[in-house]
Structure 1
Amino acid sequence: MDQAIHPRLTVLIHPLVQHKLTIMRRRETSTGEFRSLAREVSLLMAYELTRDLPIERVPIDTPLEPMMAPSIAGKKLCIVSILRAGDGIASGMLDLMPSARVGHMGLYRDPATKRPVEYYLKLPEDVAERLVIVVDPMLATGHSAAAALARLKKAGCHNLRFACLLAVPEGLSVLAAEHPDVPVYACAVDRMLDDHAYIRPGLGDAGDRLFGTK
């Protein structure tokens, strides 16, 4: 079913991911615990997202002898956070990949057109040469994610991935239509969007729960 919605979708079914996500969903989970769990889940997501990075052999000296050892080849990674909630995912990934470059993109929804409008963009100069992981906790309508990916393609990026905690069929359909070349990684695909574009059953507003603003 999920693969029919988006042909390049990977749902991360690892027991630790699913267990931590369940705690994040609970109404009674505190801001501090939610933030900590988001960081832990993001680290586990990063492991899956980077499992196919190219490897080269480089000469090193161990305490006992020289050897040719595996090392990640070429330009490394860039994590692009869709503000503000994306920062809650980016921080966990940086625990695993501390040398990754970080970009930020701010989008808001135009009240008349209901389409995303870019208000902030800051990317590394060599972003087009890197694997770019775009992060946002919730793939709801899909319009912000699609706009972010389109903007990065305009900047020359050709190796893109999108990562979220929760997705719904509506958002996945938008990305499948507009960016079928971009792999999507999610921890769960929930049932639907409600009339206010909230994911059901979901976990509430990820930004508010990460930063304690509601």
Structure 2
Amino acid sequence: MTSLQRTNGVQSPALGVGPSYRPAEEKPTATVSREVPFDNVHVLSQTPQLIALLTMIRDKNTERGDFIFYSNRIIRLLVEEGLNHLPVVAHNVTSPVGKDYVGVRFEGKICGVSIMRAGESMEEGLRECCRSVRIGKILIQRNEETSKPKLFYEKLPADVANRWVLLLDPMLATGGSAIMAVEVLKSHGVPEDRILFVNLIASPEGIENFAKHVPKVRVITAFIDQGLNEANYIVPGLGDFGDRYYTM
């Protein structure tokens, strides 16, 4: 059964969450991700596991060690899904018992690029899935008064133009920093359609802004939240991801 929950005057969808074979009366109602009308945006399936993990990291009382652990689990889910969106080519192998197996392998090289500092929290999840993957960094900071992004630093693999790029940042608020990061990659020769933006929580305003400015970049996100408040922070959100992951 679908219902609507309201926070700060904004409606968010809510569903009975649980295994499909359970009757509706045995499924607790939980807030799930909003839907958006953009073909380049993919939201993870709102499974009981994902909603439970998101509930843990949203809780202001969750201690840093638990916040890191549960965030890392979501990051791993996101990276695994992101890899599903990379192209593959036919690749046949012979098993140890001498039988052929018709399979596939990834086409082309990949690299990760994290938007510092919060994006660096996602690097280990990428390394766990892609051994010896190269990772670049972009430092963009938002002016708290204007909410406009400013580029401070970039360090990318020399051959980044020849790779598929997984751009990493857990929070997408207004979308300004992520759009600037994509422009940096494009200035180094990376085609827009070879960039995948991997993200934990986004605002609908940020998603719309991002999708309209860089429509060929595919977004892989766990959750699209209710919206932005007057300070352009995601609500209900989870606070400052970088602070909670690294210092609090």
Specify the alignment match of 1:204 in structure 2: 239
Counterpart code for 1:148:
A
Secondary structure at 1:46's aligned position in 2?
helix
Structure 2 residue aligned with 1:175: 210
Deviation at 1:29, TM superposition (A): 0.9
Task: Trace 1:150-189 onto structure 2 (pairs within 5 A).
Answer: 150-158=183-191, 159-189=194-224
**Using CA pairs below 8 Å that are at least 6 residues apart, which structure has the higher relative contact order?**
1
Equivalence for 1:84: 117
**Secondary structure at the counterpart of residue 210 of structure 1:** helix
| Counterpart pick for 1:41 among 74, 86, 95 | 74
Distance 1:54 1:141 in 2: 30
Which of 3, 7, 14 pairs up with 2:47? 14
**How far apart in 2 are the matches of 1:151 and 1:165?**
21
Give the TM-score of the pair, scaled to structure 1: 0.89
One of 229, 232, 235 as aligned partner of 1:194: 229
**CA offset at residue 90 of structure 1?**
2.1
Where do 1:94-113 residues align within 5 Å? 94-110=127-143
| Contact kept? 2:92, 2:100, Cα under 8 Å | yes
The 2-side partners of 1:178 and 1:36 are apart by 34
Q: In angstroms, what is the RMSD of aligned CA positions?
A: 2.1
The question of 1:53 aligning with 2:108 is answered: no
**Pairing 1:142–2:175 present:** yes
Partner of 1:28: 61
* Cα separation, 1, equivalents of 2:219 and 2:161: 19
Cα 1:53–1:169 shift into 2, 3 Å: closer
* Counterpart Cα distance in 2 of 1:136 and 1:58: 32
Structure 2: gaps spanning 5 or more residues: 1-33
SS at match of 2:131: coil
Contact 2:95-2:101 within 8 A present in 1 as well: no
Asked whether 1:123 is paired with 2:159, we answer no
Structure with larger Rg: 2
Identity across matched positions, percent = 34
CA contact (8 A) 2:112 2:165 kept: yes
1:182: how far off? 1.0
Q: Which amino acid aligns with 1:188?
A: F
**Matched-pair contact (CA < 8 Å) for 2:147–2:232:** no
SS at match of 1:147: helix
Q: 1:98 to 1:16 in 2, by over 3 A?
A: farther
**Count of matched residue pairs:** 212
User: What is the distance in 2 between the residues matched to 1:140 and 1:113?
Assistant: 13
Q: How many Å apart are 1:60 and its aligned residue?
A: 5.1
Distance 1:97 1:17, change over 3 A: farther
Question: Could you tell me the TM-score, scaled by structure 2's length?
Answer: 0.78
Tell me, yes or no, if the aligned pair for 1:42 and 1:90 is still in contact at 8 Å. Answer: no
